[in-house]
């Protein structure tokens, strides 16, 4: 299918003293070109929301996109469904947000972000176990997905009265870890690092805080620093599978592929249902 552009062209030719005016067929755009335009426009709206743009302005721009492109293209657009869901969440329309994110998952089943926002909706609605389940599904795909991490930590804290699910039983240490996760979800890795360090000062054996401190290094491109923290984490708790998985990520980023494979295999040995290292092994051409 194609879409006509509202441009009319006329060609004037002269032959033997006679003038002929002919209408040229209008230019058309292919569906591929329209899909690209729509995706680009939707990502611009998502970035505007992330940068603190007003929901009213973003809503107006989204309405323009909705009017400009046919429903068959919008329904098949991952970015459009994500933009609709993000805007709905920002304005408190949780049912619409959840439905849009479900459509985004249908369009792109391998994407972690819409599953993370479904988890956020469930947590807002007080469905804590459903929120944790959706967040874990997102984290299996992307262990560093910030929204999923924050939702998972919040849900676990609610299910365990703020301390029982973590290796630490100190409520102050857990509060610092959750504060760090909130900063991490905003991309403020410096503040997140400080919070995780405070958690470790309160409870030096808090293995999750050590791993998340490594994540801050990883996210800022300091893969060697991340590896140091992940090694410290496995020394604290050799049976903590996420530490081995993230160690594999750091080793892979440093080009130490053979060691990364060993770390991923160790994570799977500790938790055979852990989807993250299984996927990464396949990406490295290794059998899980």
Confidence at residue 221, expressed as pLDDT on a 0 to 100 scale: 92
Confidence at residue 238, expressed as pLDDT on a 0 to 100 scale: 95
Range of the domain at 53: 32-111
**Does some domain include residue 195?**
no
**Does some domain include residue 186?**
no
**Which residue(s) pair with 23 in the sheet?**
10
The Cα 158–Cα 131 span in angstroms is: 11
Residue 275 pLDDT greater than 80, yes or no: no
Residue 2 banded pLDDT, cuts 50, 70, 90: very low
**Does some domain include residue 59?**
yes
Residues listed for the chain: 288
The tally of domains found in the chain comes to 1
Of the CA atoms within 13 Å of residue 203, those in its CB half-sphere come to 22
pLDDT digits (tens, 9 = 90+) for 253-263: 999 999 999 99
**Does some domain include residue 238?**
no
Relative to beta strand 18-24, strand 9-15 is: antiparallel
pLDDT digits (tens, 9 = 90+) for 40-53: 988 998 888 877 77
The Cα 143–Cα 31 span in angstroms is: 35
Confidence at residue 274, expressed as pLDDT on a 0 to 100 scale: 72
**Does some domain include residue 271?**
no
**Does some domain include residue 42?**
yes
**Does some domain include residue 127?**
no
- The CATH number of residue 60's host domain is 1.25.40
153-184: burial string, b at 16+ Cβ within 10 Å, e else: bbbbbbeeeebebbbbeeeebbbbbbbbbbbb
Answering whether pTM is above 0.75, one says no
**Does some domain include residue 91?**
yes
| Mean pLDDT score, 19-33 | 60
For the ranges 161-170, 222-231, 241-250, 270-279, the maximum mean pLDDT occurs at 222-231
């Amino acid at each position: 299918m194609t879409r006509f552009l509202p441009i009319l062209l006329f060609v004037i030719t002269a032959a033997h003293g006679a003038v002929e005016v002919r209408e040229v067929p209008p230019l058309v755009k292919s569906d591929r070109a329209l899909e690209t335009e729509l995706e680009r426009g939707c990502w611009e709206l998502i970035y505007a929301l992330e940068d603190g743009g007003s929901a009213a302005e973003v809503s107006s721009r989204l309405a323009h996109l909705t009017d400009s492109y046919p429903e068959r293209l919008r329904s098949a657009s991952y970015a459009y469904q994500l933009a609709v869901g993000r805007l709905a969440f920002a304005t408190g329309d949780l049912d619409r947000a959840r439905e849009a994110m479900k459509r985004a998952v249908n369009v792109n089943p391998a994407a972690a972000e819409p599953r993370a926002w479904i988890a956020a909706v469930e947590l807002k609605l007080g469905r804590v176990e459903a929120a944790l389940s959706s967040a874990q599904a997102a984290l299996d795909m992307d262990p560093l997905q910030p929204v999923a991490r924050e939702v998972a930590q919040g849900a676990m804290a609610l299910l365990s009265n703020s301390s029982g699910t973590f290796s630490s039983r100190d409520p102050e240490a857990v509060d610092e870890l959750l504060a760090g996760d909130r900063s991490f979800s905003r991309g403020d890795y410096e503040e997140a690092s400080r919070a995780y360090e405070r958690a470790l000062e309160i409870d030096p054996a808090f293995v999750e805080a050590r791993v998340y401190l490594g994540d801050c290094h990883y996210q800022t491109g300091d893969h060697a620093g991340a590896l140091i923290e992940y090694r410290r984490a496995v020394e604290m708790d050799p049976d903590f599978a996420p530490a081995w998985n993230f160690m594999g990520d750091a080793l892979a980023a440093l080009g130490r592929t053979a060691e990364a494979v060993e770390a991923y295999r160790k994570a799977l040995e500790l938790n055979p249902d852990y989807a993250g290292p299984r996927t990464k092994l396949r990406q490295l051409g290794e059998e899980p």
